[in-house]
Structure 1
Amino acid sequence: MNSKKIEAVFIDRDGTIGGTGHFIHPKDFTPYPFSKTALKLLKDNNIKIFACTNQHRISKGEATISEFYNEFKLLGFDDAFICPHNPSEGCDCHKPNPGLLLEASKKYNLDLMKTAFIGDVGSTDMLAAHSVGAIKVLVLTGWGNGSLHHHRHTWSNVVPDYIAENLLDAAKWLMDNV
C-alpha cells in the first residue's frame, strides 16, 4: 500500500465524526473531541476530505440537505456527498451502493482506487468502499464495535484494511501506511 498516493478520503458522519450512530440534526451535532484534529491532519497532508453519508431524514422533512452541507463546510470538508433518500426508494446513492462515490469521482476526477473510506458500519460504509476498490477503514466508534462483532455476517465477504479506535487513529494510520 505504501506506493499508493491517496487522493481523497471519504468519511461517514454519524458514529464516525461524532454522535451515537443515530440521526442528530446538524444544529445539534457535536463532533468527537478528536475529530477536528483528524480532519486537519488529512487536510495538512493535501488530501481532500469528503463527507459521505446516508441521511434519509431529509426525505422525511426532518432536516434539509443545505443544513448538512453547511455543517460539513464548517467542519472543513472540501465537499459532501449526501443521500437524502429513504432506503426503500432503491436509489443508486444510498450506501452500500456506490453512487455517492461515483459522483465524487466524476466531479473531482478521482481514481477511486486511490481513495479511502472511513466509517463505522461494515454493511454500508465498508461495502461501498469495497465496491469501488477504495481502502477500507472501520472505526470502532458509533456502530463500529457492533458492526465488527455482532453484525459481521452482514458484510462477511469484505475485510477492512484497518480497524481503527476512532477517526484520529484512522487518519494517522492512513498517513503512515498509504
Structure 2
Amino acid sequence: MTIKRNIEAIFIDRDGTIGGDTTIHYPGELQLFPFTKIALTKLKEQNIQLFSFTNQPGIADGKATTEDFIQELEAFGFDDIYLCPHRHGDGCRCRKPETGMLLQAAEKHHLDLTKCVVIGDRWSDIVAGIKVGATTILVQTGAGYDALHTYRHKWANMNADYIATNLEDAVSWLFSHSE
C-alpha cells in the first residue's frame, strides 16, 4: 500500500503524540506508544521525510539539553529535529503555535509546506500547521482530548483536516485519503 498524495515531509510532535501523556517526559523517560515504531516505519518506507517538532521549555530551565532530545529523536527514526527550547512567555518565533520551526525546516529542506503534514496532540500543533497551509491531523492521545474540548476556543475558527484516535490511525488515514 502506498500513500496516494504527494507529501514532501511529515512533522510529528513528541510528547503525547508518539508517546507519553499530557506532560513533558525528558529524554530517557519517554515511553513510546506500542504502535509508534510501526507507524513511523510505514511512513519511512514511503520515502517521506519525518521531522520531529516539539516545544521543550525544560531546556531553558536546565532540565535537559538540546542534544539529549536530538539523540533520542534521531534514535526513534526522525530525519531531522526541530525544537523550541524557550519558555512559554519568552516571545520567540519558534514556539508553537508560531511557525518558526516549520519555516526553518522548509528553508533547510526546500519544502512547500502546503505539501506537508503536521501531526500533533495539542491545539498549538494544529494552529502552526494551519498557518502554513499544511494538512493537519490532531491525535486524541496525550492532550488531544483537551485540544478538542478544554482549549477549543483557542482555535475555534479553525479545523484540523482529520481527528485521529492516535498516530496509527493518522498514518492509516494518510494511506487511505486522497485529495
**Superimposed CA distance per residue, residues 50-98 of structure 1 (whole angstroms, 9 cap, x where no aligned partner):** 0000001100000000000001111000011000011211010000000
Structure 2 unaligned runs (5+)?
none
Asked if the contact 2:4/2:176 (under 8 Å) is kept, the reply is no
Distance 1:84 1:175 in 2: 33
Q: CA deviation at 1:3?
A: 7.4
Match of 1:9, SS? strand
Match of 1:10, SS? strand
TM-score normalized by the length of structure 1: 0.96
Q: CA deviation at 1:172?
A: 1.3
**Superimposed CA distance per residue, residues 94-121 of structure 1 (whole angstroms, 9 cap, x where no aligned partner):** 0000000000000100000000000001
Asked if the contact 2:51/2:78 (under 8 Å) is kept, the reply is yes
Mapped pair 1:100 → 2:134? no
TM-score normalized by the length of structure 2: 0.95
Task: Figure out how many residues of one structure are paired with residues of the other and give that number.
Answer: 176
Tell me the C-alpha RMSD between the 2 structures: 1.2
Asked if the contact 2:4/2:177 (under 8 Å) is kept, the reply is no
Match of 1:163, SS? strand
**Aligned residue in 1 for 2:86:** 85
Structure 1 unaligned runs (5+)?
none
Quick check: which one's helix share is greater?
1
Identity %: 47
- Map 1:3-42 → 2, pairs under 5 A: 4-42=5-43
The one-letter amino acid paired with 2:128 is: A
Distance 1:3 1:23 in 2: 34
Q: CA deviation at 1:158?
A: 1.0
- Map 1:33-52 → 2, pairs under 5 A: 33-52=34-53
**Aligned residue in 1 for 2:59:** 58
The one-letter amino acid paired with 1:158 is: M
Distance 2:35 2:120 in 1: 15
**Aligned residue in 2 for 1:176:** 176
- Give every structure 1 segment of 4 or more consecutive aligned residues whose post-TM-superposition deviation is greater than 2 Å: none
- Map 1:118-129 → 2, pairs under 5 A: 118-122=119-123, 124-129=124-129
Q: CA deviation at 1:149?
A: 1.7
